[in-house]
Amino acid sequence: MQKKNNDKFIGKIVKKDYNNELEKVLEKKYFNENVKNILLNILYKIETAYKDYEKVKQDVETKEEFIENIIRNIRNNCETIKLVQPNSEESKIIGNKTFLVEKNKKRIICYPIERKLLYCISKISKKEKIIKDEYFLINQTLSDLINVGNNINTVEVIRDFNGYSWTTITREIESIKHNLVYQNLRMILGTEFINNWLNNREFIIDYIELLKEELNKTYGKKITEEFLDVVYKLSILLDFRYDKKAKEEINKLKKEIDNEYEEVIDSESFVEKITQEKINLTKEIKYIDETINNENMLQQEYIRRNEVLPLKNKIFSVRILSKKMEDERKEYIDQLEKLNELLNPRNFVKYKKQLQEREKYLQVLNCFNIDEEIKRYIIELQNIFYKCFVIKVQKAQTKQEITKIIYEFRYYCMLPYDQDIYIYEVKELKRQIEYMQREIIKKACEFKVINTFAKDDELNYKIIENIFYNRNINLEELYIKIVKEKDKKYVQLFDENAFEQKNEILYGKEFDKKDLEVKFNKKVRIFN
């Protein structure tokens, strides 16, 4: 940790020329000039926008880490980058998509759109699976969710920030649902944890266990179990809904598990089935032993197999066949041992329990409307997210921590929920959001992070609440003015001298200057 802090300090003193660093990488690549120019433009936009991006989100890697990661990905993972125009002859290779990423060839084919190319660079560097195979199904679905979410997250800095404003165009987000779930995970676990997880090239560390430990330590066992259960189910639902290949695989898997589970329920039939499989395997092993040790039988087997095999799969010699049959014998013996284990009552109970666990996650697909099911679980995830964030607010004990929480929750409120509305506008979440905002404002006033504008907590909240719906980059620059117009009262937000927004104070009862800690018509800085 000390080394990392020292590196950050040195980085502030010694500024790197990242343009020059990227150009050195590009010199060794056979990219055309258009590709080189668009890559340099991406770098320029990151350099321009990152300060604002960092201010708004708070918990992000340093600009240096972010840029160096992109340059490293281009150097190590991009042998070919080809830009194609929409509806051109060249674009036929990517079909109705806007890009094609081929990791095995280290090749990207993409429309000449900066955010799309940056998405591809992020995608091509990812491992397909970041979770051990022992975690049934989620080893793939949760890996997909985190990978896609991180790709979208990488693009955000040039998609939503331009060096002077923060604007979210929802139609430019590859998947709003993946992004929302990913941002939930990032805000709960921290950017550093997720980046370490994504950069873990070996399966030495079990990040699912580490994830559980981190969550248990901070939020307790009950919330951890609720949170992970919903995230796991959402990862399955999202893969099933948006990935055609994954949908086929999950459907196949579901049928297999359903059949196995039905068989296990009837224990007598299950034992009969296992016994029959053992008999069949024993016969196969016996046949292989006899064939390998009899030249005539081996020769006949060689002819028999080759008669039905296509040319490219022909067995070239009897010796190769003999080796192949020995390998088959080993597989049959392994299967036989597993079946013997299953017939052990203790192992049978364990196997049944394992099937029940797998069945539980696949049951999520037994719904009438997959989109409605995704929506339901996303709402449920947000409710658990609030439980976590409440704990986060309660634990904050310094002005810096509270300031960071204000920014983070503002960012969360402004996350897109779908193409038309943001999180703070979702009617199912309004009560929780308002509660959270009240708690944050109350604590911020207690610690004198922000000024108190009214003696009553509720009125104070009504005056300040709009900071959570404001897209001003730097909240510390905001001022509030309370004004009277006829029989109504309004709160005006200012960025120094520039007017930002005006909202009626819907307090529910009459109030006057005696109820306020500030004067009417006077601009007062929100942050103390």
Mean pLDDT confidence for 152-170: 94
Judge whether 145 and 234 are in contact, CB under 8 Å: yes
pLDDT at res. 10: 43
Distance CA 186, CA 193 (A): 8
CB 480 within 8 A of CB 497: no
Q: How far apart are CA 155 and CA 174, in angstroms?
A: 10
Geometric angle at alpha carbon 14, from 13 and 15, rounded to 5°? 110
The per-residue pLDDT for range 63-80, each reduced to its tens digit, is 999 999 999 999 999 999
pLDDT tens digits for range 208-265: 999 999 999 999 999 999 999 999 999 999 999 998 888 888 888 888 888 777 777 7
Q: Is pLDDT larger for residue 5 or for residue 299?
A: 299
Average pLDDT estimate for 428-453: 94
pLDDT score of 153 more than 90: yes
Between β-strands 80-83 and 99-102, what pairing exists: parallel, antiparallel or unpaired? unpaired
Cα–Cα distances in Å, from 17 out to 22, 49, 474? 9, 16, 27
User: How large is the average pLDDT for residues 352-375?
Assistant: 84
Over residues 296-308, mean pLDDT: 90
Instruction: Specify the higher pLDDT residue, 4 or 70.
Output: 70
Confidence of residue 372 (pLDDT cuts 50, 70, 90): very high
Average pLDDT over residues 346-363: 75
What count of Cα atoms within 13 Å lies in the side-chain half-sphere of residue 92? 3
d(CA 416, CA 172): 11
Cα 191 from Cα 197, distance rounded (Å):
10
Residue 516 has pLDDT above 80, yes or no: yes
Q: Does the pLDDT value for residue 57 go beyond 80?
A: yes
Residue 15 confidence (pLDDT): 56
Q: How far apart are the first and last CA of the chain?
A: 31
Contacts of 446 (CB under 8 A, 6+ apart): none
Give yes or no for residue 12 having a pLDDT over 60: no
Tens-place pLDDT, residues 80-102: 999 999 888 888 888 888 999 99
Q: What is the pLDDT of residue 358?
A: 79
- Residue 14 is predicted with a pLDDT of 45
| Mean pLDDT within 416-421 | 95
- How far is 165 from 167, CA to CA, in rounded Å? 6
- Please compute, for residue 405, the number of CA atoms within 13 A of its CA located in the half-sphere on the CB side: 27
**DSSP assignment of 135-175, as one string?**
STTHHHHHHHHHHHHHHHHHHHHHHTB-SS-B---GGGSS-
For the chain, the C-alpha Rg in angstroms (whole number) is 30
